[in-house]
DNA sequence: CTCGCCTGTCTAGCGATGCTAGAATCGAAT
DNA sequence: ATTCGATTCTAGCATCGCTAGACAGGCGAG
């Protein structure tokens, strides 16, 4: 059965290629430029091959989103681990989150703006999404304060970061003033 | 020149009809259902008529967004005027904002999610957009706290509301828990 | 080694999209 | 009543996501 194994390996490899190419194209020229024709041309296969891996364009977006969620969790945990004390951890987490959104706008869109057909905050929510939320909760739970549910606090803090990330990228907030915003948010929201 | 005046009036009337119909259709079936063909059919004109009023679909979305910005400003000011004291004003403002987003999802999308071709936070930003921000600033300036720029504070507070609105509508946050989130946000961010 | 089948891929095309050129029609002014 | 300009419509383009059916190449059986 070695032949089938090789085929399976090649198939998995091609699937990774599709997702990586879609992500690359989206970061270069925006998601509007990610058409099934262009994507197929870039991976040097015809369009129907895409549909043998994914149900449609939505699922490809979803795959990029999952990849991004895992990377976001890593970035957030790394920033938290590099800081001393609860306040520094939360500030580092906030900077890492906003930095990720700024550096990977297309991936961030796939995660939170576009319809990737993913279930959020439900039983069948996929692991990377739950884990990204867990990564936030780990550091934010330290500064929730008494009488407040850490989950609720994390949701509110996350929503604030999400709003900042979104409005910044829409040109609403000048990117050079990120730091005072983070300071204000952490000073007021976090209980240290 | 009465004839030309009448024509101009009728033209303006038809433009209002286009915007109102686009908004209605978007609220009923989502923006994806707002195609130029369907829109043209509903207003009982052919597609090219749309392009004699707007450069394209983007501008129609932008027109709906402007309408929404004006209504949002009214809603926020009304909520603030109905409350006694800075804290109650800010809490009312927050509820009014989230309520507007929940009741007019398509309009909210046109304002902040979709590309309506509008300039934000620039010199040529249109009046309704500036005014909506001003409406927030009026109440939030009262609770900014010392040593913080009211504009910066308003932006951060607004970003938090925007994040909550967005994530709530994406099914990420259960809508029935809006109240504790608002309370938490106001308690922590506002200095009373 | 050869043959037939089956898996996998491609060509071609469908309906729908945003948008536009040019024909056709309507109405105002002479 | 007629002409002419403005307005509206018909028809069509390129592109989109997606799919049916033709085609081919490599696999296992003899």
**Phi-psi category of residue B119: left, alpha or beta, with phi > 0 → left and psi -120 to 50 → alpha:** beta
Domain boundary at A18, A34, A53, which?
A: A53
pLDDT digits (tens, 9 = 90+) for A135-150: 999 999 999 999 999 9
Confidence of residue B15 (pLDDT cuts 50, 70, 90): very high
Asked if B111 has any chain A CB less than 8 Å from its own CB, the reply is: no
Q: Which nucleotides of C are covered by protein (CB under 7 A)?
A: 8-13, 16-22, 28-29
The CA-based angle B143-B146-B149, given to 5 degrees, is: 80
* Nucleotide D18: closest residue by CA–C1': A56
In terms of domains, do A76 and A165 share one?
Answer: yes
CB A102 within 8 A of CB A175: yes
Q: Which of A18, A33, A53 is the last residue of a domain?
A: A53
Minimal C-alpha gap between B162 and chain A (Å): 5
Distance B37 CA to C23 C1' (A): 20
pLDDT in tens, B119-153: 777 778 889 999 999 999 999 999 999 999 999 99
Residues 6+ apart with CB under 8 A from A4: none
Cβ-defined contact of B160 to A155 (cutoff 8 Å) = no
Verify whether the Cβ–Cβ distance B155 to A185 is below 8 Å.
Answer: no
CA atoms of A31 and A58, how far apart (whole Å): 11
Q: SS3 string of chain B?
A: CHHHHHHHHHHHHHHHHHHHHHHHHHHHHCHHHCCHHHHHHHCCCCHHHHHHHCCCHHHHHHHHHHHHHHHHHHHHHHHHHCCCCHHHHHHHHHHHHHHHHHHCHHHHHHHHCCCCCCCCCCCCCCHHHHHHHHHHHHHHHHHCCCCCCHHHHHHHHHHHHHHHHHHHHCCCCCHHHHHHHHHHHHHHHCCC
Q: What is the span of the domain harbouring residue B19?
A: 1-53
Residues B153 and B86 in one domain: yes
pLDDT tens by residue, B28-83: 999 999 999 999 999 999 999 999 999 999 999 999 999 999 999 999 999 999 99
Place of tokens 């609220």: B27
What is the rounded distance in angstroms from the CA atom of residue A63 to the CA atom of residue A39? Answer: 14
Are A46 and A61 found together in one domain?
no
Q: Answer yes or no: do B178 and B148 share one domain.
A: yes
- Chain B residues with CB under 8 Å of A162 CB are 163, 166-167
A76 and A36 in a common domain: no
Residues of B in contact with A161 (CB under 8 A): 163
Q: Is A189 on the interface with B (CB under 8 A)?
A: yes
Going by C-alpha positions, the residue among A64, A68, A58 that lies closest to residue A131 is A68
- Verify that B80 and B140 share a domain, yes or no: yes
Write down which residue in A53, A76, A93 finishes a domain: A53
Same-domain pairing of A38 and A78:
no
Can you give the distance from the CA of residue B26 to the C1' of nucleotide D8 in angstroms?
Answer: 26
Q: Which residues of A touch B152 (CB under 8 A)?
A: 177, 180-181, 184
Could you tell me if A35 and A62 lie in one domain?
no
The pLDDT, as a whole number, for residue A3 is: 64
Q: Give the domain CATH number at B80.
A: 1.10.357.10
Residues B31 and B64 sit within 8 Å (Cβ to Cβ): no
Check whether residue B90 and residue B36 sit in a common domain.
no
Instruction: Give me the CATH number covering residue A43.
Output: 1.10.10
**Contact flag, residue B49 CB and nucleic strand D, below 7 A:** yes
A43 and A14 together in one domain: yes
The pLDDT score that the predictor gives to residue A2 is 63
Residue nearest to nucleotide C11 (CA to C1'): A46
Question: Does one domain contain both B45 and B65?
Answer: no
In the block, which residue shows the tokens 């509007």? Answer: A32
Total count of domains within chain A: 2
Same domain, A79 and A48: no
């Amino acid at each position: 059965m070695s032949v089938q194994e090789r085929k399976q390996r090649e198939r998995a490899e091609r699937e990774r290629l599709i997702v990586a190419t879609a992500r690359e194209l989206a970061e270069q020229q925006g998601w509007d430029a990610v058409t099934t024709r262009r994507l197929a041309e870039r991976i040097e296969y015809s369009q129907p091959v895409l549909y043998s891996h994914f149900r449609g364009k939505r699922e490809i977006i979803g795959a990029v989103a999952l990849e991004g969620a895992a990377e976001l969790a890593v970035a957030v945990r790394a920033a938290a681990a590099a800081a001393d004390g609860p306040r520094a951890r939360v500030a580092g987490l906030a900077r890492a989150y906003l930095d990720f959104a700024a550096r990977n706008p297309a991936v961030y869109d796939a995660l939170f703006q576009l319809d990737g057909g993913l279930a959020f905050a439900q039983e069948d929510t996929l692991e990377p999404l739950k884990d990204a939320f867990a990564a936030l909760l780990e550091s934010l739970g330290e500064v929730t304060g008494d009488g407040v549910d850490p989950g609720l606090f994390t949701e509110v803090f996350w929503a604030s970061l999400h709003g900042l990330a979104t409005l910044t990228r829409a040109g609403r907030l000048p990117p050079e003033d990120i730091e005072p915003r983070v300071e204000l948010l952490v000073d007021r929201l976090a209980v240290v």
